[in-house]
Amino acid sequence: MNRMSDRVAEKIRQIKGSGIREFFDIAQRMEGAISLGVGEPDFVTPWSIREACIFSLEKGYTSYTSNWGLLELREALSDKIYKETGVYYEPEGELLLTTGVSEASDLALRAIINPGEEVILHEPSYVSYKPCTAFAGGTPVCVPTSIEDEFKVQAERIEEKITERTKAVILSYPNNPTGATLSRKELEEIADVVNEHDLLVISDEVYGRLTYEGTHTCFASLNGMKERTILLNGFSKAYAMTGWRLGYAAGNKEILEAMMKIHQYVMMCAPITAQMAAIEALRCDEEVERMVSEYNRRRRVMVDELNNLGLACFEPKGAFYAFPSIQITGLTSAEFAKRLLFDEKVVVIPGSVFGACGEGFVRCAYAVSQYELKEALKRIERFLETMGISKNR
């Protein structure tokens, strides 16, 4: 018999597993480590949301829901999106509740990609767009962004990559891992390109609520973009509900119908407990405000301190990540992360994980308590001192 691995589908075999799995495993197990490597809020889901979920369980809400999700939730969500972005989505047909934004992005790609069609995505970016494009039979085309542009993807850079096979562009701002955001003007330039070349946009705005300077512009709110945009968002980051696995897609009826077709066979529906909790979450603006101001305070501390320590860090205006350069150390980002973990027990994520152009940077999440944040920075300072890099002030 052949090796079992030979029986794994070609398409899946071609996708490289993460090269630093091993490092992650060590980090996961290390005692006394402070982790700046976590991509989720350190807050627990606000109590009123948890309480609403418990109440729903007591009441016996344990069944499937409509494939689209609970109508009550879709209606509340439609209102909320309208209030925040000015874009109206019909609760019936233009809004689909999914098992996290992860499922929504997979559905979006599978619903629109024909074999060999290309999807343009900017890097560094969240790790799943590339493999999911490939799973869907498409070809990911990467546009690197750089610190010189504060990791903002330029409209011209997107345009350069467009071919007759290009189907869609994935945008993910505020960005994981860089914390970069795009202004309305910068988004409008991209919208022009999208319009001109008749493309679709998958806009992952799960960090949109976590914007610290100015307000987040929803891509679908730009002139003519509602029809072209598959808007992805969810409850994980803003409401500290990562483990509930609840996201949504909003967009054109026919595309949403196509996504629903896949969703109904693959997932059936998002979990009802999460949906019941989400109805309450939409009423929890004050809690969200509180968490956002707290992230903002930590953001300032982290960025200031990293710069003081000699790790040049541009100002991230969204999400909860700082993305400092570690080039001054002469190490690769993977080496830096490994040595920092072994020497000082601080976990950071090598930028290279998020695309080749992330090399030379590390992702530091400031979704940790002030105490942990300060302790981690102290340890990083010590670590840098052993390499002869001393504090600026």
Instruction: Note whether 311 and 328 are within 8 A (CB).
Output: yes
| CB 220 to other proteins: min, Å | 26
| CB 128 to other proteins: min, Å | 8
Q: Which residue has the tokens 């689909």?
A: 96
| CB 375 to other proteins: min, Å | 13
Q: Does 232 bind other proteins (CB under 8 A)?
A: no
| CB 36 to other proteins: min, Å | 10
Q: CB 225: neighbour CB atoms within 10 A? A: 21
Q: How far apart are CA 333 and CA 341, in angstroms?
A: 12
Q: CB 184: neighbour CB atoms within 10 A? A: 14
| CB 118 to other proteins: min, Å | 24
Q: Does 389 bind other proteins (CB under 8 A)?
A: no
Instruction: Note whether 293 and 212 are within 8 A (CB).
Output: no
Residue in 254, 104, 238 with CA at minimum distance from that of residue 170: 104
Q: Interface residues for other proteins in 162-201 (CB under 8 A)? A: 176
Cβ neighbours of residue 175 closer than 8 Å, sequence gap 6 or more: 124, 125, 151, 181, 207, 318, 319
Q: Which two tokens stand for residue 140?
A: 């990911």
Q: How far apart are CA 178 and CA 346, in angstroms?
A: 19
What are the backbone angles phi and psi of residue 363, rounded to the nearest 5°? -95, 125
Question: Quick one: 264 or 370, whose CB is closer to other proteins?
Answer: 370
Question: Quick one: 180 or 353, whose CB is closer to other proteins?
Answer: 353
Question: Quick one: 53 or 96, whose CB is closer to other proteins?
Answer: 53
| CB 41 to other proteins: min, Å | 9
Q: Interface residues for other proteins in 334-373 (CB under 8 A)? A: 347, 349, 353-354, 370
Q: Which two tokens stand for residue 4?
A: 């079992």
Cβ neighbours of residue 354 closer than 8 Å, sequence gap 6 or more: 123, 124, 125, 126, 127, 176, 177, 363
Q: How far apart are CA 118 and CA 204, in angstroms?
A: 18
Q: How far apart are CA 327 and CA 225, in angstroms?
A: 39
Q: Does 253 bind other proteins (CB under 8 A)?
A: no
Q: What is the DSSP letter of 217?
A: P
Q: How far apart are CA 20 and CA 8, in angstroms?
A: 22
Q: Does 38 bind other proteins (CB under 8 A)?
A: yes
Q: Does 386 bind other proteins (CB under 8 A)?
A: no
Question: Quick one: 30 or 387, whose CB is closer to other proteins?
Answer: 30
Q: Can you tell me which of 94, 106, 305, 381 binds other proteins, judged by CB under 8 A? A: 305
Q: Does 44 bind other proteins (CB under 8 A)?
A: yes
- Total count of residues recorded for the chain: 393
Residue in 267, 261, 9, 11 with CA at minimum distance from that of residue 135: 11
Q: Can you tell me which of 62, 114, 215, 293 binds other proteins, judged by CB under 8 A? A: 293
| CB 37 to other proteins: min, Å | 4
Q: Does 301 bind other proteins (CB under 8 A)?
A: yes
The helix/strand/coil state of 350 is strand
Q: Interface residues for other proteins in 53-112 (CB under 8 A)? A: none
Q: Can you tell me which of 89, 126, 314, 323 binds other proteins, judged by CB under 8 A? A: 126
Q: Does 33 bind other proteins (CB under 8 A)?
A: yes
| CB 283 to other proteins: min, Å | 21
Q: Can you tell me which of 28, 114, 163, 215 binds other proteins, judged by CB under 8 A? A: 28
**Binding segment for other proteins among 28-36, 69-77, 96-104, 266-274 (CB under 8 A)?**
28-36
| CB 296 to other proteins: min, Å | 8
Q: Which residues bind other proteins (CB under 8 A)?
A: 24, 27-28, 30, 33, 35, 37-40, 42, 44, 126-127, 176, 293, 297-298, 300-301, 304-305, 347, 349, 353-354, 370
